[in-house]
Chains A and B, each alone.
Chain A
């Protein structure tokens, strides 16, 4: 019986743990504004999948834990206003890439469109 406790100060809100969890204990709910990471109790198995894949080592806990939720507000695309990714996740990318954050707050569709617009203008 192993607990799953997500440290809210370290979690960046990516989807790694949710797709690693084979029991569906960690799940992600996404609405228009928020991404919610839902942990529905303790892990029944002795697996450590979620711990292994976490990019920031935010998952801790040895004792059984109660259900918990981590809520992230999604950053809005600066061009179209659609939700993109949680801000801590963009911060993580900007740190790793040594790139300012404002370059990253575009949604995927806008990136794809802007690429062709930039090429057409030339």
Chain B
């Protein structure tokens, strides 16, 4: 079994056939919310070395563990600030609807006028925009599966999972190392 830190995910945009299989695989692994979006080629967290999302998060809900950037759900407030801090648009959102449990105490305290418009004051359901991002399939790694779901599913080899020793040689054949880009590539043209 490969350990967490020894591999990295590589994307070959030319090989992507746009089948969205990686999105499906990610959805299944992460309980219905895909952390991948196929936009020309698969887009997901690049696990930057200097991550803007960590800098911007005011709750310290994003942290780096073994080179993987993880969003801690208990601390996250779903504010959406990190979404716009990420230069790659790699932090995803899903809108879910949750039922509001009416509390007896809550209703008792409200003046009569408000209670008449009860439906409006106490809506039956509320919508939450959940923020989620790629976690490098930590749970799969802990369960002993070597590769993340997207790399295991990709039929055309656009998403590959290689260990670091192989990575240096594959750079020459235009495989893009996911890990090194930390800035807006389209603006500054930084090295890959």
Contacts and interface: CB of A to CB of B under 8 A. Distances in A.
A60 interface: no
Given A45-B105, A113-B39, A116-B39, A24 B100 contact: yes
B156 interface: no
Nearest to B91: A108
A48 B41 CA distance: 43
26 contacts: A16-B77, A24-B100, A25-B121, A40-B120, A44-B105, A44-B107, A45-B103, A45-B105, A55-B58, A89-B80, A92-B81, A93-B56, A96-B56, A96-B58, A96-B85, A104-B84, A111-B88, A112-B40, A112-B88, A113-B40, A114-B185, A115-B88, A115-B186, A119-B192, A120-B13, A122-B192
Interface in B40-97: 40-41, 43, 52, 55-56, 58-59, 77-81, 83-90
A12 to B, nearest CB: 8
B122 interface: yes
A80 interface: no
Max count, chain B CB within 10 A of own CB: residue among A16, A44, A99, A113? A44
Interface string A56-74: 0000000000000000000
Contacts of A90: 84
B55 A111 contact: no
Residues of B contacting A: mostly: mixed
B177 to A, nearest CB: 11
Contact of A19 (B37, B77, B185, B186): B77
Interface string B106-143: 11011000100000111101111110000000000000
Nearest to A95: B56
B31 interface: no
B184 interface: yes
Contacts of B114: 41
Contacts of B172: none
Contacts of B176: 119
B88 A41 contact: no
Contacts of B103: 23, 44-45
A25 B121 CA distance: 7
Contacts of B79: 14-16, 19, 53, 55
A23 B100 contact: yes
